[in-house]
Amino acid sequence: MKYDVCVVGSGAGAGPIIYELSKAGLNVVVLEKGPWLKTEDFSKDEMVATRRSVYTPNLKDECHVLVKKNAAGKWMRQSTYSSGRDFWNGNVVGGSSNFMSAYFHRLKPVDFRLKSEFGPIEGANIADWPIRYADLEPFYAKTEEIVGVSGKVVQHKHQEPRSTEDFPYPPLSENVFSTWLDSAAERLNYEIFTSPRGILSQPKEARKSCYYSNYCGSYGCSSDAKGSSRAALINQALETGNCTLLPNSKVFHLETNGNGAVVKANYYDINGDKQFVEANTFVVAAQAIETSRLLLMSKNEDFPNGLANNSGNVGKNLVFSGGGVGSGQLFFEDLTQEEAEQIKTPGVFINRASQEWYVIKDAEFSDTPVKGGTIDFVSEHANAVTKSIPLKWDDDGKLVFGSELKEKMHSYFTEQRKFKFEIFVDWLPNDNCFVELDDEVKDKWGDPVAKIWLGYHDHDLKVGEYLAEKAEELFKEAGLQNVRSNISGSVSPNLQAGGCRFGNDPNTSVLDKNCKAHEVSNLYVTDGSFMPTGGSVTYTFTIYANAFRVADHLVQKLTSS
């Protein structure tokens, strides 16, 4: 069978394509490298979710090679198999959207014209987007309704324009600490607001509402309240009868016909046998790193440097999320009994954020306005193992054993509660952050793994440190002790974008404004790869919105021809 559309991947960048095109009557086939886990397969097993490669490939089978500077400033390469540092982020149907914390902040108009608004920065490859906020706004609203976003719109000086008055679902239940933050922010004259979340506070169709298990980020959702691509979109696409989902299918080469069009997606099935599917249109949404890797592997006579890469831009200008984290503690002995009991309430969220400094206008920091970022306030993750590991060291860096360790753990788990803040600033694209194919390490199928260069721009750290100072001040005002923060250029695979940026000039971009490859007539890329810059929020909401935008374009194009 020749399909109308073949989609590679099934995460946030793929779900809207699968959903909209299937509902429009097009025959869609989905090739997903990972297994097809259903809602009933997700549990709150800490070892499964965070200590074993259950939702990601075994590093012996498929790893990455990371290249970064050491303390002496020398670039060093190391495979994740040898280091044990897993750089995967969810290889299952629905992708990493199954495991997100689902903070759904929109980008703002300034994010679409970063270079025009704030000017160039030496050493950063900043570019304006080929679309504007107004082009994406209707699809933010569409995502809020279809995927399901809970929250409350609170006006503040950097509040982006909206076509809808509020979110479709009310805010999730909150810990009393949220009101303490509100009061502290009011005393400091800081703007703070309720964080929008891609988690249902009320049931929606077949999906149940959040049941506040206390285990959210890094875990699959047992109620489908979390707006994963699988729960919110793909399940409904399958009900149309127009969607064929093929899990355990690792695509390794997109084949072209010599006339600038893709005709086949070649893949390995669960048994390691080579298979292929044919389609009229191909959409790649394998997450930024693996999308670039696939295009680079899909070289042929017409594309000797990789598919859609005659300009040499595939894999370039990879971006992560800049910033860092901070924390503070409340000790129950310093609170009233009633306050302590309220603070101990498990499961409910903090759901507060500040974008007071989304644009920084501070003469002590800079002579001109500078793009700032977002501060999200959260609870310490409930993972008991994650909490316990740091406790095995004393203040001098020596291991603690036996009764001393048990007492230390008992105190930590019963006498205090830790709260955290997360800083999100733009990760400036630069020449030292990109993806290429490794020339030594292969995966279990014999294909080169992705080599990822993790260079960052010092400007990111300066902005992050400025925001961290503001967040620390708020925590101290709210009565927290041992307040500290860490801003660094270290990266997490959770938030990745770029590598196939879109733009109007084929010489400096891979995709056009509709996310079609400039050099390939029927190839689209709809994960975070398209983003020239990432903004100062988490990416998933914008990836969803843009994929709905591209889906709208494809439905019009493919159903009218």
Q: Hey, where are the domains in the chain?
A: 156-195+322-426+457-490
Which H helix or E strand runs over 426? none
Cβ pair 90, 220 in contact under 8 A: no
Helices 540-560 + 15-23 axis angle, to 10: 30
What residue has token string 């196939």? 500
| Burial group, residue 320, by CB count within 10 angstroms (0-12, 13-18, 19+) | buried
Check pLDDT > 90 for residue 51.
no
C-alpha closest to that of 379 among 467, 473, 490, 480: 480
C-alpha closest to that of 251 among 94, 436, 31: 31
pLDDT computed for residue 49 by the predictor: 83
Q: CA-CA distance, 224 to 37, in Å (whole number)? A: 12
For 160-213, the pLDDT digits (tens) are: 999 999 999 999 999 999 999 999 999 999 999 999 999 999 999 999 999 999
Strand partners, 453: 67, 434
For 331-365, the pLDDT digits (tens) are: 999 999 999 999 999 889 999 999 999 999 999 99
* HSE, side-chain direction, 13 A CA sphere, residue 352: 26
C-alpha closest to that of 66 among 40, 41, 91, 84: 84
pLDDT computed for residue 12 by the predictor: 98
DSSP string covering 57-105 = --TTTS--EEEEE-TTS-EEEEEHHHH--------STTGGGGS---B-P
Q: CA-CA distance, 333 to 331, in Å (whole number)? A: 6
For 3-14, the pLDDT digits (tens) are: 999 999 999 999
Mean pLDDT of the chain: 96
What average pLDDT score do residues 241-262 get? Answer: 96
pTM for the whole structure: 0.97
pLDDT computed for residue 395 by the predictor: 87
pLDDT computed for residue 560 by the predictor: 87
pLDDT computed for residue 492 by the predictor: 86
Check pLDDT > 90 for residue 312.
yes
For 106-163, the pLDDT digits (tens) are: 999 999 999 999 999 999 999 999 999 999 999 999 999 999 999 999 999 999 999 9
- pLDDT confidence tier of residue 561, bands split at 50, 70 and 90: low
Kind of pairing between the strands at 322-331 and 316-319: unpaired
At 49, is the secondary structure helix, strand, or coil?
helix
Check pLDDT > 90 for residue 37.
yes
Q: CA-CA distance, 460 to 124, in Å (whole number)? A: 11
Q: How many CB atoms lie within 10 A of CB 502?
A: 24
- pLDDT confidence tier of residue 258, bands split at 50, 70 and 90: confident
What average pLDDT score do residues 403-430 get? Answer: 96
